[in-house]
Amino acid sequence: MTYISGVTSTTVLEAIAEPTRRRILDAVRVGERSVGDLVEIVGMHQPGVSRHLKVLRDAGLVDVRREAQRRLYRLRPGPLMELDEWLEPYRLEWSNRLDALERHLERTATPITGTRPAEERS
């Protein structure tokens, strides 16, 4: 199990596995958001949004700062960047496999002759 910024990658993956938390991350990706903003965006009551924010905070994915009575949340991209770096060899492997499949299909494909597209048949 790898560690991302002092948090296990499993914790980060578990945090982003939940669709509501991904919507929250999408919202804070563009800038700071208050809990009230997130309640409106996510369409969930404040206690539920706060629980999701706690999971994201514990996973190191968001930072919070106080401004008077409000708490503003923003994205901490570090854990996602580290996860992206970890995924890169897998993307490369799949890209290579798909390229090999494409080359194979180009070499072995037999042209189909004598057929017309459906729109030409009518």
Number of separate helices (H) and strands (E) present in the chain:
6, 5
CA–CA separation, 79 vs 93, rounded Å?
22
Whether residue 1 is predicted with pLDDT greater than 50 in this model: the reply is no
Q: Where are the domains of the chain?
A: 3-78
Higher pLDDT, 95 or 8: 95
Instruction: Give residue-wise pLDDT tens across range 55-97.
Output: 999 999 999 999 999 999 999 999 999 888 888 999 989 998 9
pTM: 0.72
Which listed CATH number (3.10.20.90, 1.10.357.10, 1.10.10.10, 1.10.3720.10) goes with 3-78? 1.10.10.10
Give me 67's structure tokens: 């401004």
CA–CA separation, 122 vs 120, rounded Å?
6
Instruction: Give residue-wise pLDDT tens across range 10-36.
Output: 889 999 999 999 999 999 999 999 999
- Mean pLDDT for 24-53 is 95
